[in-house]
Amino acid sequence: MEKIKDIKIKTPIDIDLRLLEILLADRTTGQNIIWSDSEYELLGEEYDSRSPIMPELIRGSNFELIKPRAMLYGGRAEGFSPEEAEKFVPAWLCNERNNLLDEEWFGRKNVFNEPWSKHWEPAEPPIKFPDYPEETDKNWQDYVDERRIEINCGEAPHLTSRYDVISGKYIKVKNRIGILDRKFRVVSENVRNEIEWRKWSKRAVQSVYGYEFQGDYLLIARLNLFYSYVDFSHKIMWTDPTEEDLREIAEIISWNIWQMDGENMTPPYIGDRDKFRQTSLFGGENEEKKTTYCRIMDWQKGKETDFIEFAKG
């Protein structure tokens, strides 16, 4: 088995403080994402389940406090609780699921790779797009803009496959099979210069969504998407993102990968509050309080929206 140190995920200490602050933001509450997990409560009041994750709590001597579950459990899937196990799918199974999505979109099998015996072989470049009649034509830009979501995403293994979440084995950029990874591959095979890469890679990030209840998982998922962008910039496009690029990508991710109670579509612990309030000392009538649904960004329309309305669309 591969050594767990082979996971090449950066810990929060390895990222610029200004970027970490963006990646900790909760766009619905206007504060930071919260721990939403009792696992850290023994460390003190600031680590209470309902307390915000502040940068100073995961830096310094605590720089390795939040890390992938494979590192915590030594790559043993049996270390996961039943609830956690639902979030952890081996990379080969993520690949097969994503292949099914692409089979429906492209109208043919194994577009990005050929799976075999829990492994896969990447398809030779470039990815060929369907040759439909003009009125139903699908091109590479349509694929990049196609919006997809991973629910209860955990560390977001279906969105980006920087490592296998069960074994901890690092996956080389050319072999990655996540939804965002595939979009980045398509962009890299079709753009002509660095300017176009920046434009279309940003649109790729804007097109993928995911939500998670627990704050530590959520931060890791956000970091995975962020570093996936960096990895593809370096390894495929041979370019270093600018500080402006990195801030913009971090902001997009902070909108698209958000903290939510999936049952109520609200930030954690808000949905269980009283829905009614006294509205007037004189009227004496109860009025239903507006539910604080999670807010996300509809990048195609360029505006904020409640996720519940976005999902209906």
Domain-embedded: residue 172: yes
The pLDDT-based confidence of 215 (bands split at 50, 70, 90) is: very high
Lookup: tokens for 85: 């196990």
Is residue 283 in a domain? Answer: no
Average pLDDT taken over every residue of the chain: 87
Taking residues 172-181, report their average pLDDT: 97
Examine residue 285 and state whether it is found in any structural domain, yes or no. no
Is position 139 within any domain?
Answer: yes
- Residue 158 CB burial class (10 angstroms; 0-12, 13-18, ≥19): buried
Domain assignment present for residue 152? The answer is: yes
State the average pLDDT over residues 130-151: 83
Range of lowest pLDDT (71-80, 84-93, 164-173): 71-80
Q: Which domain holds residue 152?
A: 4-275
Mean pLDDT of the 201-229 span? 97
In-domain check, residue 306 = no
Alpha-carbon torsion angle 46, 50, 51, 54, nearest 10: 120
More confident residue, 221 or 12: 221
Q: pLDDT at residue 274 above 50?
A: no
**For residues 303 and 136, which has the higher predicted lDDT (pLDDT)?**
303
DSSP assigned state of 33? -
Global pTM exceeds 0.75: yes
Q: Using alpha carbons only, how large is the chain's radius of gyration in Å?
A: 20
Short-list 258, 267, 245, CA closest to 197: 245
Q: Is residue 308 part of a domain?
A: no
127: pLDDT strictly greater than 70: yes
Burial class for 292, CB neighbours closer than 10 Å (0-12, 13-18, 19+): middle
Judge whether residue 96 has pLDDT over 90.
Answer: yes
More confident site: 1 or 308:
308
| Cβ-proximal residues to 270 (8 Å cutoff; 6+ apart), any chain | 261, 264, 292
State yes or no: pLDDT of 81 exceeds 80. Answer: no
- Checking if the pLDDT of 275 tops 60, the result is no
Convert 212-244 to b/e letters by CB count within 10 Å (16 or more is b). bbbbbbbbbbbbbbbbbbebbbeebbeeebeee
Each residue's pLDDT tens digit, 47-68: 999 999 999 999 888 888 998 8
Query: Which single residue is written with the structure tokens 């649109």?
Result: 203
How large is the angle between the packed helices 179-190 and 215-235, nearest 10 degrees?
Answer: 20
When divided into structural domains, the chain yields a total of 1
pLDDT at 280 over 50: no
**Within a domain: 284:** no
